[in-house]
Structure formats: structure tokens, C-alpha cells
Amino acid sequence: MKEKKDQEEKTKKRSGSRLLRSLWGTFPWLIVIGIVLFLFHMIGEIKQEKARLEDERKAAMKKETPPVKVITLTVRSGVLKDKISLPAEVEPSEEVLVKAQVSGEVVQVLAKEGKEVKRGQVILLLDSSDYKSRLERIEANYRLARLEYQRNVTLAKSNATSKAKLDSTEAQVKDLEAQLQVARLALEHTRVRSPLSCILNNLIVERGDYVSVGDPVAQILGLDPVKVTVGIPESDVATIFDLKQADVIINALGNLRVKGKKVFLARKPRTLARLYDLELAVPNPRKRILPGMFAQVELVKSVFPKALTIPLYTVISHGEEQYVFIERDGHAEKRQVKLGILAEWQVQVLSGLTPGDKVVVVGHRQLEEGQRLEVIKNVNDPSEILKS
């Protein structure tokens, strides 16, 4: 019995020892878990304290900060045009080099540079004395040949001359008739005429100059209408297939805006930049639009009949977030917006605003959510801001 009791005591001691060792092994993990729980508790306390301080700060700001003076814009729907503006150059509708068709000395200039000339109007005269003499000589020979031919016709009726001689004199008459026409035309060409009703842009020769056949003597330009050529990017070609006209802005004439009528669209790009030439005819009755002037061509790609738009500068970007401030009940309210196309300084708002909202357009950069506002002016059109 004693041995049995001793054995039980030893067994109890061994079990207690194992339990103690087990508890001692888990003690470090209990400390770690306790520290983690303490840290989570402290973080929660810090967040709550920060939130409390932020709420107190905002409450104090609302209470103590005077209202910010702002200007607002009432959002309205209207027509918005998606346009592209492309650089272009003005060219004459026609450009012709008038060339001498006969040779001779320039004896008189009858037109002035920069002035309009009519079709068929004489620009200058060449020395015609040689051409007159040649014409008179041919006319005399022609008259003699006709008399000879008529005499042979009479003789042939009575068989007093041969048919061969009659044919010879007839051929001579026809040859002289042809020479006569050439001589008359040459004499006429000593009077150099304008082939078109245009502007005489440049007289290349002066009185006393000698010109040969084919030498240019004057340059004339067609200026009503003028031609405006613009390169259309490949990505926008499809939008102008059905185009009838486009707005053309002439920068040199105080941004003069005129309508250009579509003439043709090239079916092949002219450069490696893949620009397709669009030619527009622009009326120019006062001849103020001159070749070489730079222009801007506005092409409408699409029209949005009921678009909400706001000035681009009212949108605040923060990372990927875009928002505006609106005035509601005398306080600033932050609104995230989704934007669409940009048309000059206006941007389309796809979501985030509704008609009637009053967007802060002046004084919005330093605003915070809930801040008190004093609206000094509300406008319905952004242009009214400039009058403030």
C-alpha cells in the first residue's frame, strides 16, 4: 500500500510539473497578445480623439470664421457644339501667269498692279509694226491670187487654160487665206489681254522690255471667292463627309468670321502626317481677304442640344477626383462631377449637377465643405462675371 501511495504522489508531481512547464511556455504569447490588444485599443482611442478634435475644429470654424464672399452661376441646359479648330491658309481661287504669244518690245502698259482687270481687257501693248507690215503684204498677195484664180476660172470655162493651172491658183489662194489668218492673229496678240476677271497682282515687264514667245508678262489672281485649304486629321475625316459649310476665322482682320462653302475633300493624304485637304470657297467681295493670310477653320463634330456646362476653371481636381462647390442654404456643398467634352472654356457636366444648382465660380479655391458663404452676385451667364 505504501508503495502504491508513493507511486501516486510521484505521478501527481510529474503532472503538476508538466502543467507548470506548459503554462510557462504559453506565457510569452499571452504577453504578445496583450500588447497587441493594448495597441489596437490605443489606436482606436487616438482615432476617436482625432475625430473629436476635427469636429471641434470645424464647429469652431463655422462659428468663428466669417462667411466667404463668392459669386455663383446658376446651371442651365443649352446647346453645346463639339468643335475642332484647325489652322489653314488663304489661297487665290485662281492664279494665272499671262504669257506673251508673240515676241516684241513692250511699247505701252495699260493696267496697274493691284487693280481689277476684266476678262479680255488689254494689259499691255507690244510693238506691232512688223506684224502690220506682214499682214499688209499677205493681204496684197491674197488679192492678186484671187484675181488670178477668178481669171483662170473664166478661161477654164472656154477651155483656154488647163485644169492643172486652175488647181494651182486655187491652192495658192487657200494657202494665202491661211497665212492671212495667222498674220491677223499674230497682230491681235500684240495686244496682251487678261484671260480672266481678276486682280492684276504683278506686272513682270516694263515699257521698253523685249519679250519672246512664252515669256511671262503679268500675274493675275482670283480673289472673289478665295480658297481656304485646311488639313483634316485622319481621325476626323468621317465627321466632314456630309459637311456643307464651315466657319472660317481670319486672324489678320480682327478675327473676321465668314462662312466657307465646301468645294471638295481630297481622297488621299498629302503628307506623312496623314492630313486630307479640305478646300473651302470663301466669298470676298471687298477683296480684304488676301492670299497668304492665316486662318482658323471651325468644324462641328457633334451637337448636344441639352447639355449642362460650367466654366472649366470652376472644377477642382484632386488626384483622380474632380469636384465643384455649390451654394446650398448659405453653405458650401462639395459635389463630385463627371466631365464630358471641352468646348473652348466651357466643359460638359455628365453627372453631379442638375439644372438650377448654383455653382461657385469666384472664391471657390479656398472653400471647405460646410463653410458659410455670402453670395455677392449670382449670374446666369459666365460673361456676366466680367461685369462684376
Same domain, 196 and 109: yes
pLDDT the model gives residue 248: 92
Query: Does some domain include residue 313?
Result: yes
Q: How many domains does the chain have?
A: 4
pLDDT the model gives residue 40: 74
pLDDT the model gives residue 321: 87
Same domain, 113 and 202: yes
Which of 284, 301, 318 finishes a domain?
A: 301
pLDDT the model gives residue 122: 92
Query: Does some domain include residue 98?
Result: no
Same domain, 329 and 239: no
Query: Does some domain include residue 51?
Result: yes
Domain of 280: which CATH number? Answer: 2.40.30.170
Same domain, 121 and 204: yes
Give CA–CA dist 346/324, Å, rounded: 14
388 residues of the chain, pLDDT tens digit each: 555 555 655 555 555 566 556 655 665 666 767 677 777 777 877 888 787 777 776 666 555 568 888 888 888 888 888 888 889 989 998 888 999 999 999 999 988 888 888 998 999 999 989 989 998 898 888 888 888 778 777 776 777 667 777 777 778 878 888 888 988 998 999 999 998 888 888 888 889 899 999 899 999 888 888 999 888 888 888 888 888 888 899 988 989 999 999 888 888 887 667 888 889 999 988 889 999 899 999 888 888 888 888 888 888 888 888 998 888 888 888 899 898 888 778 888 888 888 988 998 888 788 888 888 888 888 887 767 666 5
pLDDT the model gives residue 224: 86
Query: Does some domain include residue 281?
Result: yes
pLDDT the model gives residue 58: 65
Per the structure, the complete domain to which residue 158 belongs is given by: 104-217
Query: Does some domain include residue 54?
Result: yes
Closest to 262 (Cα-Cα) out of 276, 244, 247: 244
pTM of the complete model beyond 0.75: no
pLDDT the model gives residue 82: 81
Same domain, 341 and 267: no
Query: Does some domain include residue 145?
Result: yes
Sign of CA dihedral 158, 162, 167, 170: negative
